[in-house]
Amino acid sequence: MLEQQVELYQEEGKEEQETARKVAEQDVSIEAGIGNAALLIETITGDPRIMGILAEKGYNEEVFNEGRTLLENARSAFASRAAAIAAQRYASSRLAGTEISAEKAFTDFRLVARAVFKDEPEAFSALNLKDSLPPNRSQFIARALTAIENARLEEYTGRLSRFGCDEEGLAQVEASISALETTDAGQNQLISDAMTATAERDAAWEALSGWVSQLRAVAKTALRDKPDLVKILDV
């Protein structure tokens, strides 16, 4: 069983690494594409010969202004998405530390409570002492907060307080768990923000990429008899 769990964790780790690699490659590709689009627009609009030919195909200054707008939208969306991902990763590192503190505080409480109520099944149930800590974070938070709330009941609080789990001690445990709850909620919001920012970046890049592809196709046709200009644009 242990060997199977180790193999499962290793496989999950490989999948996460592969996903991270693909995401990084996509980021690099989009960033390079935005840079190439900027260079193409700058090169064309800076060359009166090319502008004159493309103007006859409908690519006047107004159309290139539309392209510049798409370019700025893509740049802005790319930067916003990068900031959102950075914020989410930073929050993840904070969440890990907060989770460790909360689990330690609640585990210490359980050790004391189990010793105090070792022969009392009702107390074990009320204070969530029977099972190991749930792996699901939301379940852990809910059960831990319920246990601390129940620990303040008259039938438990007096005996717990004699072993260091008085109101001050319970409040400290509760504060650790509440901090985890708050941090977890913030992390979930940042994950949502990052997903939204990614969708917005992809949409902005798709719009710019489509505009550039059409421009390249028109330029390649319009300049087919002028290889020197084709070479400048690399179309």
Separation of alpha carbons 91 and 88, rounded Å: 5
Read off the tokens for 126.
């009320």
- pLDDT in the model for residue 25: 92
What is the amino acid identity at position 42? E
Three-state SS annotation for the chain:
CHHHHHHHHHHHHHHHHHHHHHHHHHHHHHHHHHHHHHHHHHHHHCCHHHHHHHHCCCCCHHHHHHHHHHHHHHHHHHHHHHHHHHHHHHHHHHHHHHHHHHHHHHHHHHHHHHHHCCCCHHHHHHCCCCCCCCCCHHHHHHHHHHHHHHHCCHHHHHHHHCCCCCHHHHHHHHHHHHHHHHHHHHHHHHHHHHHHHHHHHHHHHHHHHHHHHHHHHHHHHHCCCCHHHHHHHCC
- pLDDT in the model for residue 129: 93
- pLDDT in the model for residue 23: 83
From residue 105, give the alpha-carbon distance in Å to each of 109, 117, 142.
6, 18, 15
- pLDDT in the model for residue 34: 97
Tens of pLDDT, residues 152-199: 999 999 999 998 899 999 999 999 999 999 999 999 999 999 999 999
Percent of the chain with pLDDT over 70: 93
- pLDDT in the model for residue 57: 94
Question: What is the pTM (predicted TM-score) of this model?
Answer: 0.76
Identify the residue with better confidence: 152 or 230: 152
Round the average pLDDT of the chain to a whole number and report it: 91
Q: What is the mean pLDDT of residues 29-50?
A: 95
pLDDT band at 4 (very low <50, low <70, confident <90, very high): very low
pLDDT band at 6 (very low <50, low <70, confident <90, very high): very low
pLDDT band at 205 (very low <50, low <70, confident <90, very high): very high
- pLDDT in the model for residue 5: 39
Architecture category of domain 23-233 in CATH: Up-down Bundle (1.20)
Separation of alpha carbons 139 and 17, rounded Å: 28
CB count in 10 Å sphere of residue 128: 23
Separation of alpha carbons 20 and 16, rounded Å: 6
On the question of pLDDT at 133 being above 80, the answer is yes
Identify the CA nearest to 126 among candidates 105, 147, 104: 147
On the question of pLDDT at 62 being above 70, the answer is yes
Read off the tokens for 81.
């998405």
Read off the tokens for 206.
């798709």
Among 14-18, 72-76, 120-124, 211-215, which stretch is predicted with the lowest mean pLDDT? 14-18
Identify the CA nearest to 145 among candidates 170, 112, 119: 170
